[in-house]
Amino acid sequence: MERTPVEIRLRKGKTIDLGPSPGNTSVIARTVRNVGVMAMDYPGVIFDLRVSEGDRVRRGQLLCVDRYRPEIAFVASVSGRVHQIRQGARRWIDTIVVNVEDDEGIRFDVDAAAQNDGALRDLLLKSGAWLGFRTRPFGRIPDPSDRPSAIFITATDSNPLAPDAAHVLKPLMESFRRGAQALSRLTDGPVFVCQAPGSSLIDWSKTLRVVRFSGPHPSGLPGTHIHHLWPVSDQRSVWQIGYQDVAAIGTLLSSGEATITRTVSVAGPGVERPALVRAPLGAELNDLLEEPRTDETLRVQRLVSGFSLTGREARFLSRHDLQVTVFDRNATPKHTRTALRRMIDKLPLAAPGATQPSEAFERLFPFDLLPVPLMRALAVGDIETVERLGGLELLEEDMALLTWRCPSGIDYGQLLREILDTLHQEKAA
């Protein structure tokens, strides 16, 4: 068996400055009026409804399942009434909106799961905790019977303005450890706990390995960790899971209640005081902002679920996002302040251009992969070359800095997603 390094220092990357982050402020609970479950958060999933509009649901109750893998359950994160079921393209369910009404939860039976590995999987699937896992390659919800070669717990977050994992975990340490122990029963390989430098979050054992990552963004993204510790391929897949999802599994195993709240940072150039707020999964982003919320402030604010390069402007918080970035619609971007820059921006721009190589791409990409050949292969849609160049090790978020730096205006994350979906279909066929 290979040796696992204890600490990995990365020099490549860039942490873009977006203003102050909430830091170690205390967590504020916000009252949320609506939550949404969005199909967009789960690539490859088609919702099959188990409720209809107007139904009353309790916290933890089944809303819908995946059409092709009905064991995978999507549950309500609040108790209330199903307000709206929105359809998107091909009449597939796009969003399920639930109005919050009272506070009534479902208790799951956890006794069997304490001993039996099969029962543990059933519990995770039934309670919706399974959705915290994503496979690598492909970034999808794992199959219920899949046994990964390793599991990666991402107990750090280098996205600018993201909450500090160690601070959020402080009151949840007991649950986090219990959850991590439970995860080691889902795989034959190791469970890696990837954290920032500092005191160890968990005791090192044969199955649980702590690795510290330091350096600029993306040193705290699971893609970087997996690449350096346990590179995946078409032969070998791993699961990744966020630290708050692990703590939620720990709480579920001790209390039987599905923990569906997350601690989320609300920050960015559009807010005066960055804050850490506690909110249910899929919370409406408007409700996470500070009071008073007048129509005027809501009109000028652009709310992004996630880090601004990888997130999207949406009504609800995405499943895996732990931050809301707020922009001011009226603010002039910094780079257009000088007259010369404004003039240059007025010149017509042939878009999208071609990928032009630069050493700067290598400086932003802490992988042993070749960024420019990869970007060129993505731009022309050469699936085989993307796969040979290690595209299976990456997800959209890993390409974000390259997209930001590239003058051509090509969205490499989007192109990678399309190629990953094609490769996944080929593999399934």
Partner 1 sequence: MTPPPLLARHWDDNRLTLVTLTASLAPFVATIVTGGPAQLPPLALAVCIALLWHLAFALPRKRLPGWDGIVTAVIFTVMVPAAVPLWQQGLALSFGLVMGNLIFGGRGRGFLSPAAVSLAFLLFSFPVNAGPATGTAAALAALLGGALMLIAGILSWRLVIGFFVAMAACAFKWPVPMIWPEWPSATLIVGLIFLIGDPVAAACTNAGRWFYGLLAGGLFVLLAYAGGDILSSVVFSGLLAAIFAPLIDQGVIWANIRRRARRVRHD
Chain residues in the site for partner 1 (CB under 8 A): 2, 16, 18, 230-231, 233, 235-236, 302, 304, 308-309, 311, 313, 325, 327, 333-336, 344-345, 347-351, 353-360, 362-363, 368-370, 372-373, 376, 388-390, 404-409
Tell me the C-alpha distance between 240 and 128, whole Å: 16
Instruction: Give me 41's structure tokens.
Output: 């958060």
Least Å from the CB of residue 145 to partner 1: 24
Residue among 29 and 298 whose Cβ is closer to partner 1: 298
Tell me the C-alpha distance between 36 and 76, whole Å: 9
Residue among 86 and 388 whose Cβ is closer to partner 1: 388
Helix orientation angle between 243-255 and 117-127, rounded to the nearest 10 degrees: 110
Residue among 175 and 310 whose Cβ is closer to partner 1: 310
Where do we find the tokens 């290979």? 2
Tell me the C-alpha distance between 27 and 265, whole Å: 9
Residue among 296 and 359 whose Cβ is closer to partner 1: 359
For residue 125, give Cα distances in angstroms to 53, 108, 133, 182, 203: 24, 11, 11, 14, 27
Residue among 170 and 388 whose Cβ is closer to partner 1: 388
Least Å from the CB of residue 340 to partner 1: 9
Least Å from the CB of residue 373 to partner 1: 6
Residue among 128 and 160 whose Cβ is closer to partner 1: 160
Asked whether 25 and 263 are in contact (CB, 8 A), the reply is: no
Least Å from the CB of residue 200 to partner 1: 23
Least Å from the CB of residue 18 to partner 1: 8
Least Å from the CB of residue 383 to partner 1: 16
Tell me the C-alpha distance between 174 and 91, whole Å: 44
Contacts of 265 (CB under 8 A, 6+ apart): 21, 22, 161, 162, 163, 274, 275, 276, 277, 322, 323, 324
